[in-house]
Structure 1
Amino acid sequence: MATLVGTVPSIIDARVHFFDPRTPPWSLQRIGRASVPVLRALPRPLLWIASQFTQEHSLSGIAGPGLLARRYQLADYTKDLAGLQSVAGVPVSAVIPVDSQWRRRQSAEDSPEAFQRDLDHLLAQPYGVDGMPRLGGVIVPLDERAVGLGVRRLLDEDDDDLIRGVRLRWARHPDPLVHDWTSTPDAFATAHVERVLPDLIRRGLVIETLCYSHQLGELVEVADRYPEATFVVEHLGLPAGVFGPVGNSTGATAAARADILNLWRERMAMLAARPNVLVKISAIASPILGYGNEKSGNIGGQHILADMIGPLVLHVVDRFGPRRVIFGSNAPLDGHNASIGVTVGALLDVLGDRGEYLLAHLFYENARRVYRVDDAATPDAGSAET
Structure 2
Amino acid sequence: MSTLAGCVPGIVDAHVNFFDPRTPPWRLHRMGLVPTPILRALPDPLLRLTSRINDEHSFSGIAGPGLMSSRYRLREYVRDTAGLASVAGVPVAAVMPVDSQWRRRVSTAEAPDSIAKDMRTLLELPYGAEMPALGGVIVPGDERIAGLGVRAVLDEDDAGLIRGVRLRWGRHPDPFVRDWSTEPDALASPTFRKAFARLADRGLVFESLCYSHELGQLAALASEFPETTIIVEHLGLPVGVFGPIGSSTGATAAARADILALWRERMSMLAARPNVLVKVSGIASQLLGYGDQKSGNIGGQHILADMIGPLVLHVVDRFGPERVIFGSNAPLDSHNATLGVIVGALLDVVSPRGSYLLSHLFAENAQRVYRMQLPDPTG
Identity of aligned residues (%): 67
Q: Please report the RMSD computed on the Cα atoms of aligned residues, expressed in angstroms.
A: 1.9
Aligned residue identity for 2:211: Y
Asked if the contact 1:272/1:320 (under 8 Å) is kept, the reply is yes
Aligned residue identity for 1:254: A
Asked if the contact 1:187/1:193 (under 8 Å) is kept, the reply is yes
Question: Distance between the aligned counterparts of 1:33 and 1:219, measured in 2?
Answer: 36
**So what's the TM-score if we normalise by structure 2?**
0.95
Stretches of structure 2 lacking an aligned partner (at least 5 in a row): none
Match of 1:379 in 2: 377
Match of 1:250 in 2: 249
Question: Distance between the aligned counterparts of 2:313 and 2:273, measured in 1?
Answer: 18
Change (3 A) 1:97 1:29: same
Match of 1:212 in 2: 211
Question: Distance between the aligned counterparts of 2:293 and 2:364, measured in 1?
Answer: 37
Change (3 A) 1:372 1:170: same
| More deviation, 85-94/18-27 | 18-27
Change (3 A) 1:154 1:294: same
Asked if the contact 2:33/2:53 (under 8 Å) is kept, the reply is no
Alignment of 1:365 with 2:364, yes or no, is: yes
Change (3 A) 1:33 1:120: farther
How far residue 106 of structure 1 moved from its aligned partner, in angstroms, is 4.1
Question: Distance between the aligned counterparts of 2:361 and 2:146, measured in 1?
Answer: 31
How far residue 58 of structure 1 moved from its aligned partner, in angstroms, is 5.1
How far residue 37 of structure 1 moved from its aligned partner, in angstroms, is 3.0
Asked if the contact 2:148/2:195 (under 8 Å) is kept, the reply is no
Aligned residue identity for 2:372: V
Stretches of structure 1 lacking an aligned partner (at least 5 in a row): 382-386
For the residue of structure 2 that corresponds to 1:93, the secondary structure is strand
Alignment of 1:80 with 2:77, yes or no, is: no
**So what's the TM-score if we normalise by structure 1?**
0.93
Asked if the contact 1:235/1:280 (under 8 Å) is kept, the reply is yes
Higher fraction of helix: 1
Asked if the contact 1:243/1:290 (under 8 Å) is kept, the reply is yes
Match of 1:13 in 2: 13
Question: Distance between the aligned counterparts of 1:315 and 1:149, measured in 2?
Answer: 32
Match of 2:333 in 1: 334
After superposition, where does 1:292-371 map in structure 2 within 5 Å? 292-371=291-370
Asked if the contact 1:58/1:177 (under 8 Å) is kept, the reply is no
Match of 1:65 in 2: 65
Question: Distance between the aligned counterparts of 1:326 and 1:296, measured in 2?
Answer: 27
Asked if the contact 2:84/2:91 (under 8 Å) is kept, the reply is yes
Deviations 1:65-114 (A, max 9, x none): 11111100100000000221111100111000011013454469943222
Match of 2:25 in 1: 25
How far residue 23 of structure 1 moved from its aligned partner, in angstroms, is 1.7
Alignment of 1:203 with 2:202, yes or no, is: yes
How many residues align? The count is 378
Question: Distance between the aligned counterparts of 1:146 and 1:155, measured in 2?
Answer: 15
Deviations 1:270-308 (A, max 9, x none): 000110000000000011111111112211110010001
| More deviation, 167-176/17-26 | 17-26
Question: Distance between the aligned counterparts of 2:271 and 2:111, measured in 1?
Answer: 37
Asked if the contact 1:172/1:179 (under 8 Å) is kept, the reply is yes
Question: Distance between the aligned counterparts of 2:55 and 2:170, measured in 1?
Answer: 14
Aligned residue identity for 1:13: D
